[in-house]
Copies of this chain bind each other. A is one copy, B any other.
Amino acid sequence: MIYRHLRVAAFCVAVLMGAAGCQSPASPGLTTDDATALRAALNAHLAAANGGDAARWAALYTEDAVMMPPNGRAVQGRSAIQSWLATLPRITDAQGIALEVEGAGGMAYVRGTYSMRLTIPGVPAPISQEGKLLQIYARQPTGSWLLARDIWNGDSP
C-alpha cells in the first residue's frame, strides 16, 4: 500500500503545474507564444489527471517520452506511460505552480511544485500529496509542446 501511495504521489507530477500560467514569466529564450503554449500544456496535464483518462493524458507526451516516477524504474515511451497511468488511483484537486518556464531552441523546461488528493481503495479518506517537479518539453512542428522527460519527488520526509 505504501508503495502504491508513493507511486501515485510521484506520478502526479505530470499533472500538477496546472496553475502554472499565472506565475511564470517567459524566458528570454521563449517567445510569448511558446510560453503561452507551455502553460496550456501544463493545464492540459492537470485536466487529464483530474479526469482520470490515461489515453488522453498519455497523448500529452512525446512518442519517445521518458517518465521517471519515484520509487520505481523509468517508464519509456507513450504506450508504456499510458499503461502506467492507467494503474493510478483516482486523483482530485490536482493543482500546480510553474515556478519557471525556460527554454531555448525547440526545448523548454518547467520547474514547479504540485499538490493533489488521491483516493486509495480501502483507505477511508483521500490522501494529500505535495512535491516538486522538473519537466522537459519538446516543441512540435505545429508549435505545440509535448512532454518529453518527466521527473518529480515528494516533499514529505
Contact = CB atoms under 8 A, between A and B. Distances in A.
23 contacts: A6-B157, A7-B157, A10-B153, A29-B105, A29-B107, A66-B111, A68-B111, A70-B153, A71-B154, A71-B157, A72-B157, A74-B132, A102-B107, A103-B107, A104-B104, A109-B109, A111-B149, A134-B151, A151-B151, A151-B152, A151-B153, A152-B153, A153-B153
Interface of A: 3, 6-7, 10, 29, 66, 68-74, 102-107, 109, 111, 132-134, 136, 149, 151-157
A70 B156 CA distance: 8
A156 B29 contact: no
Contacts of A153: 10, 68-71, 151-153
Nearest to A69: B153
Given A134-B134, A134-B151, A151-B153, 4 more contacts: A7-B157, A103-B104, A107-B107, A134-B136
A111 B102 CA distance: 17
A132 B72 CA distance: 9
A155 B109 contact: no
